[in-house]
Chain A
Amino acid sequence: MMMGPFATETNQPATLQFDSFASVAISREIGRVLSHNFSLAASHMVLFQQLKAQHAVDAALSRLLPNLTRWLNSMRQRTRRSLKNFALKHCEETRRSLDAFLDNELDPLKALEIERHLQVCAVCAQTYETQRAAGKLAKALPRYQAPAVLRERILLALRASEESGPLPSISS
């Protein structure tokens, strides 16, 4: 004789037995399926939420990125421009003071400034070298010596003026 849910020779207690047994099994199965589905649904929900969040971030970023890039570029440009202006201002000042620098006519602080600029600016350093070469050239010009007779003539004229009284005024 077969026992269990599908027994053919059933009586009340067997039906009862079957009923209670089946209902427990079914409800257990339902619970299992439900809970599985629930957890699946829940995990899907989480995933879905995560994806949505990711999308939102992506969208926000893709909206923001061009702006960010533009901003970064403009900042970079502005920095470059102000650096250039700064350098140009220094170059201008240096060029203007280069002669006085070469002639030792600057106060020590200003001279130090020029010296520092010349160490970092190749363009001004080049100008400086050219200026310096011109100065050296001027120094290399011949230096004329007074002929010996000139000194004698002058002394003679001065002594002669002693004998002949005050010098006649020389017309100019």
Chain B
Amino acid sequence: MSYSNKLSRFEQLILPHLDAAYNLARWLTNHDQDAQDVVQEASLRAFRAFDTFYGENGRAWLLTIVRNTAYNLLQKNKPSRLATPFDEELHGSSGPVESATPMTLLRGAEEERNLRAAVEELPVEFREALILRHQDGLSYREIALIAGVPTGTVMSRLARARARLKEFLARGIREEEAS
């Protein structure tokens, strides 16, 4: 494959997923500039490895590389943050939680900020599962392939991430009742 041929194929198959790549990198790093660096580096890596890509799923392929690049960056920059295991005691256990609709809680910009902050506090593996599942609509199997873990691990990470969101909902209800 000639260079220009390879480049145009790359532009056609991989670059359309740049938004998904940036979104994932942004959620994994919690930082705009870091996310841009990650996506740029991941794109160059992807291009170098493009000969090994057989065109089955460009988005999943790019997201895998973005994910690994982001983890490398996190390990380099914030080793303590990545290594900190999720402290169940600190973050509260998943007790009984009142139900609510997101609509009643995401009324204002402030609530949205609070929600984003709650997710950003989650361990990176949980954020990753949450974003890949709910924003990219990937299946357990696809997420497992990207994260390099068994599907059971994906399920438990998702469950715990969503338990945090349920706590967020419950907190919203309590505040609403208090006011």
Q: Residues of A with Cβ closer than 8 Å to B?
A: 99-100, 103, 105, 126, 129-131, 133-147, 150-151, 153-155, 157-159, 161-162, 167, 169-170, 172
Given A133-B102, A167-B44, A103 and B140 touching (CB < 8 A)? Answer: yes
Total number of A-B contacts with CB less than 8 angstroms? 126
Contacting residue for B158 out of A99, A130, A144, A170, CB 8 A: A99
- Cross-chain contact B22 with A144 (CB below 8 angstroms): yes
Contacts A99-B162, A146-B22 aside, 17 further interface pairs with beta carbons under 8 A come to A99-B155, A99-B158, A103-B139, A126-B99, A131-B166, A134-B166, A137-B168, A144-B27, A146-B19, A146-B36, A147-B22, A150-B40, A155-B11, A157-B40, A158-B43, A159-B7, A162-B3
- B101 near A: Cβ within 8 Å? yes
Expressed in whole angstroms, the minimum distance between the Cβ of A148 and any Cβ of chain B is: 10
Give per-residue flags for B154-175: 1 if the beta carbon is below 8 A from chain A beta carbons, else 0: 0100110111011011000000
Query: CB distance A135 to B40 under 8 Å?
Result: no
Interface of A is mostly: helix
Q: What is the CA–CA distance of A26 and B73 in the complex, to the nearest angstrom?
A: 136
Contacting pair B119 A141 (CB below 8 A): yes
Please pick, from B23, B40, B106, B112, the residue contacting A154 in the complex, using a CB distance under 8 A. B40
Residues of B within 8 A of A (CB): 3-4, 7, 10-11, 15, 18-19, 21-23, 26-27, 35-36, 39-41, 43-45, 47-48, 69, 72, 97-102, 105-106, 112, 115-116, 119, 130-131, 133-135, 139-140, 155, 158-159, 161-163, 165-166, 168-169
- Assess the A142–B116 pair: CB atoms within 8 A: yes
**B169 and A137 contacting across the interface, CB-CB below 8 Å:** yes
Q: How far is the CA of A172 from the CA of B165 in the complex (A)?
A: 33
A146 pairs with B18, CB closer than 8 A: yes
Q: How far is the CB of A121 from chain B (nearest CB, A)?
A: 15
A130 touches B166 (CB 8 A): yes
In the assembled complex, the Cα of A138 lies from the Cα of B41 at a distance in Å of 28
